[in-house]
A and B are shown apart, each in its own frame.
Chain A
Amino acid sequence: MLSKLTKVQAAEAPKQYGMVIDLRRCIGCHACSMACKLENNQPTGLVDGELETPNRRINWSIVLGREDGEQEKGKYPLLSKRFLPRTCMHCIDPPCTKVCPVDATYRRPEDGIVVVNYDRCIGCRYCMSACPYGARYFNWKKPDLGRPENPQVPVRPVGVVEKCTFCKHRIERGLEPACVETCLGRARIFGELSDPNSKVSKLIRERGAFRLLEDYDTKPSWYYLPW
């Protein structure tokens, strides 16, 4: 408990899952986000118009960027567009778990996945404020899926925080996360960072991978292969 106060806790888990995104392969189609919403029982945000603003939607998986052309490079016809998909980074030293007053969010010691205990969360949103990546989402109202739910994933009650679970229910059955399976450009590669011979570990070594906001020293287990 107190060990979380210091950076010392960033001990290696016996197994550490991680994700590599090949940014050159990402076409910004948002299929990952849609697959994530369907797999993990997130409202699509278009069902209940009342009380719904774009800034209250739940998007565990999202493609970052502004619509002001900042992500574009070059001039027509030599124009390229860049996208930056992000979900929870499943940091090895997560700033969100430290601040939780009730230990409702924590990094699983067995595989390094950062999870939320929906039955304990008091909805103070401290973890959301502490996360540099904006990866956490709050149930501002009672979720209304407007479609049959996936029985393998609990539907979260109103008033609690939720986020990407690396599709732990799928990993446990030997499947890849939904976003990886669905990615059209095969830009997402999921695997074990703890295994130096895994595909993800090799890609990180060989392709000069970077992580988001490394200055904060959160040690994300999400890596990006540069454009």
Chain B
Amino acid sequence: MTNIEDVILNQLTKTTKRFYAFIGALLVMVAWGAFAWSIQLTRGLAVTGMNIPVYWGVYISNFVFLIGISHAGIAISAAVRLLRLELYRPLTRMAELLTIISLMLAAMNIVFDLGRPDRVLNMVFFADLSSPLVWDFISVSTYFILSTAYLFLGMREDLSRLADRLPGRRWLYKALSAGWSGSEQQRFGQERVLRWMAIIILPVMVSVHTTVAWIFGLQIAKPIWHESGLGPYFVTGAIVSGISMVTVIAWILRRLLGWGKFFTLEIFRGLGNFLRAVLLIYAYFMIAEQVTIRYGGESASLEVLEFYSTGAYAPYFWSFVILGTVIPFLILCIPRTRSIGGIVLASILVTVFMWVKRVIIIIPALMHPVLPPGIGMSTGIYAPTWVEWSILGGSYALGALLYTIFMKFFPIIDLEIGK
């Protein structure tokens, strides 16, 4: 019993050279990203690949992707609590943390995209409720606050236990545990609050990605976006990429910390089965989109659809279809490949190609405005520059850094598991 707790605590107290090397590498990447951002800040968005009419580029695509990633974390955690899925309990905290950090990165990506990041607070002071961007801002902030509170409340008991176990950091854990005594009454009250929060978080989560979709889908002049199905399409994609990302991180923790007894084959099988199901729903949405637009043949939508499925973006689209859906689906179906390795491989493929899919959703639609551009201007050129890639890389490194530092101070698995 204490053995398992010791294993978890070891992670907090024993720091290897490899750890410092990893932190150092991440810091270098963050610094490089900050340098690139400073160039963008001083010279304007002209240093990116964005132009007329591709007003949004990889920052916004990446924002959509990250919001998607944030979807699995709290969902898993809430489902574990509401449906009493004790098997998946080891995933809860690491998944919650993934939600919170990916939401932070998503917000950062919006700031990278702004022409005037110095005025970002205008979103608060002058918020205009008629804008879907404001709906999204409200919805994401609510989700972020709820998720953080949920993570924190769920951790209080562990914090007070840590205060006893690690005297060196007692002050920190004592303060953070916020008066946790472990009395029956307190336990009961907390469980009730967390249950209600879990119930509230699930619809908020759906609203988050729906409003993200509506940023695009409510624009009349982008026919391929202006579809009532865009919200559910986005939400499904979010769950697909979120679940696969959780699987990948669970595997990294399993490998890195040798935590095979927490992240078991059974857990990976369960995640894989779920991923298989949502992947199928996502494929269904894609087929529905293709059939509707091709059969109707309305030229403005068809132009965009053909651009990405048979035109210039076809390599990206078909690599998503084959490597991001068909192959992972087969891996997750065939009993022989449903090992941890296979499931993780499928998840890595899905995560990477879902990112590509986000780009395919956003950029081709912008490349095809309904009116031709002026004489001397070309439509639809977009290639991200090194500045954009550096900023993206730096922001992901920052995310990994935050995740790693969190793991050094707080147990990434519920100590309750040890009981």
Contacts and interface: CB of A to CB of B under 8 A. Distances in A.
17 contacts: A1-B130, A5-B129, A52-B46, A95-B219, A120-B126, A121-B119, A122-B114, A123-B115, A123-B119, A124-B133, A125-B56, A126-B133, A130-B220, A141-B45, A142-B44, A159-B45, A216-B221
Given A56-B52, A59-B374, A130-B221, A98 B115 contact: no
A97 B285 CA distance: 31
A88 to B, nearest CB: 13
For chain B, which range describes its interface: under 10, 10 to 19, 20 to 34, or 35 or more residues?
Answer: 35 or more
Interface stretch (A100-108, A145-153, A183-191, A192-200): A100-108
Interface of B: 43-47, 50-53, 55-56, 110, 113-116, 119-120, 122-123, 125-134, 137, 215, 218-222, 366, 369-378, 381
A80 interface: no
A157 B116 CA distance: 9
Contacts, number: 168
Contacts of A218: 220
Given A55-B52, A138-B52, 14 more contacts: A1-B128, A51-B47, A99-B218, A101-B134, A102-B127, A121-B116, A122-B114, A122-B119, A123-B116, A123-B119, A138-B45, A140-B45, A141-B44, A158-B44
A205 B219 CA distance: 31
Contacts of B119: 102, 120-123
A129 B222 contact: yes
A213 interface: yes
For A54, A95, A121, which residue has the most chain B Cβ atoms within 10 angstroms?
A54
Main secondary structure of the interface of A (DSSP, over half): loop
A134 B369 contact: yes
B408 to A, nearest CB: 36
Interface of A: 1-2, 4-5, 51-57, 59, 62-67, 86, 95, 98-104, 120-126, 128-134, 137-142, 157-161, 212-213, 216, 218
A65 B372 contact: yes
Nearest to B382: A55
A56 to B, nearest CB: 5
A56 B55 CA distance: 10
Nearest to A137: B52
A213 B370 contact: yes
A95 B226 CA distance: 13
Nearest to B119: A122
A132 B52 contact: no
A140 B46 contact: yes
B413 to A, nearest CB: 39
A99 to B, nearest CB: 5
Contacts of B44: 51, 139-142, 158-159
Contacts of B374: 59, 62-65
A158 B133 contact: no
Contact of B131 (A53, A98, A142): A98
Contacts of A132: 220-221, 369-371
A101 B376 CA distance: 32
Contact of B113 (A124, A131, A216): A124
Contacts of A57: 52, 377
Given A122-B122, A213-B371, A100 B220 contact: no
A158 B113 CA distance: 13
Given A159-B44, A216-B220, A103 B126 contact: yes
A138 to B, nearest CB: 6
A100 B218 CA distance: 13
B369 A120 contact: no
B133 A134 contact: no
A101 B128 contact: yes
B370 A98 contact: no
For B131, B219, B369, which residue has the most chain A Cβ atoms within 10 angstroms?
B131
Contacts of B55: 125, 128-129, 138
B371 A55 contact: no
Nearest to B123: A101
A104 B46 CA distance: 22
A130 B193 CA distance: 42
A218 B137 CA distance: 26
A218 B370 CA distance: 14
Contacts of A137: 52
A116 B130 CA distance: 16
B380 to A, nearest CB: 9
A142 to B, nearest CB: 6
Nearest to B221: A132
A160 B119 CA distance: 11
A134 B132 contact: no
A124 B136 CA distance: 14
